[in-house]
Amino acid sequence: MTVHPDRLDELLRASRAAGVRGLGRRSFLRGASVSALAVGVPGLLTACGTESQVQTAESCTSEDLSDTEKALVFSNWPEYIDRKGKKMPTLEEFQTTSGISVTYNTDVNDNTEFFGKVKDQLGGCEPIGRDIIVLTDWMAARMVSLGWVQELDMGAMPNVQANLKSDLRSPTWDPDRSYSVPWQSGLTGIAYNAKYTGEVGSFEELMTRSDLKGKVSLLSEMGDTMLFMLLLEGADPEDFTEEQWSGALGRLEGYVGSGQIRRFTGNDYIRDLNAGNVVACEAWSGDVIAMQYDNPDIKWVVPEEGLSLWSDNMLVPNKAEHKANAEALMDFYYQPEIAAQLAAWVNYICPVEGAQEAMEQVDASLVDNPLIFPDEDFLANAYGFMELDESTRQQYDKDFARVIGA
């Protein structure tokens, strides 16, 4: 499905009019990206859990002190909560209404980096000093598969049960949402600089147009870029075979060898795209909202092949001592009015049913913005990346690192 750039421009301008908060959560998402990959494949693999680190509910038990300790520690990404000056209005409202004191940290700057910080403790059934952590689907799936996350009491979260959007209720890695609750979701597509090139509407064009040769960048996280290579291969990114993976990897290798791709980046594609060093690239919609505030030539389109759809998820790690308090916070943010306040600030896809109607009272200009409230048609061709077991994930990371020259 294609959304015309003029329509997206209109929608993005509406988002900017609500107040751009600078480059936020997704700007930090791939913070380690090239730099982390540059340490080489061995460095990548040592950040992965090993079989000896796998825990179970029986091997690693946790004690909940929520009844006597009205506190919790929340680790999130930078610029990923509503702010008013130094205040965080929705978080302050939660503390006032619940009586639970929240220590809010912005110490999740990159999925792999954070994994590296906590893997030894969680692998050894030791506390990490946090009651809620927010991680992207693929890393949340890894944490769950390693047994490092406590099962949630959904009965204690009636707002989550009632208001979690239907399309987010059953990810393959947590089909009953027993371990995770989405914080926000977002999209990956194509951005281009209209000052230097015409519309780029598909990944096929991005990878084959001669006028773009050497002026294109792709993302350095395997799941993002390989999702689109799999689509070009005619495979389903959510259910593909080893043969299809090899074909997609070979396709990427060919594009690298042809000189079509200038480089693989984290969110530093922003500088290149603004300057015209890169004229078209794989990009995150949230970055484009921020970029367009200063540069209206930056356009974002839904690729003809489809979209990459991701979520960041709240998890309660093993040995966290305030699980019930954490569940109370998760449930608080699934009130439509609270979710609308949060969404109006962060400008990502809101996972809460009813928040779109509540947005009428928060910021009416955002009610029909599909980058916050996409409908089924908008997401008809949106994909996630297939869940991988630990050994396969390590092998695919190694394959990808080799092709991109990390």
DSSP class of residue 110 equals B
User: Does the pLDDT value for residue 342 go beyond 60?
Assistant: yes
Complete DSSP assignment for 207-227:
HH-GGGTT-EEEESSHHHHHH
What is the sign, positive or negative, of the torsion defined by CA atoms of 178, 179, 183, 184? Answer: negative
Q: Are 359 and 288 contained in the same domain?
A: no
Q: Are 153 and 236 contained in the same domain?
A: no
Look at residues 283, 286, 270, 282 and name the one whose alpha carbon lies nearest to residue 20.
286
Q: Tell whether 225 is covered by a domain.
A: yes
Q: Are 237 and 219 contained in the same domain?
A: yes
Q: Are 315 and 179 contained in the same domain?
A: yes
Q: Are 149 and 235 contained in the same domain?
A: no
User: Does the pLDDT value for residue 37 go beyond 50?
Assistant: no
Q: Are 278 and 397 contained in the same domain?
A: yes
Bin 38: left if φ > 0, else alpha if -120 < ψ < 50, else beta.
alpha
Q: Are 196 and 300 contained in the same domain?
A: yes
Q: Mean pLDDT in the chain?
A: 87
CATH code of the domain covering residue 194:
3.40.190.10
Tens digit of pLDDT for each residue in 132-183?
999 989 899 999 999 999 999 999 999 999 999 998 999 989 999 999 999 9
Q: Are 304 and 315 contained in the same domain?
A: no
Segment (H or E) for 145: helix 137-145
Q: Are 224 and 362 contained in the same domain?
A: no
Number of domains in the chain: 2
Q: Are 269 and 317 contained in the same domain?
A: no
Tens digit of pLDDT for each residue in 99-122?
999 999 999 877 878 998 999 999
Say if CB 219 and CB 33 are below 8 A apart. yes
The pTM of the whole model exceeds 0.75: yes
Q: Are 75 and 193 contained in the same domain?
A: no
Q: Tell whether 66 is covered by a domain.
A: no
Domain that holds residue 211: 187-309+391-404
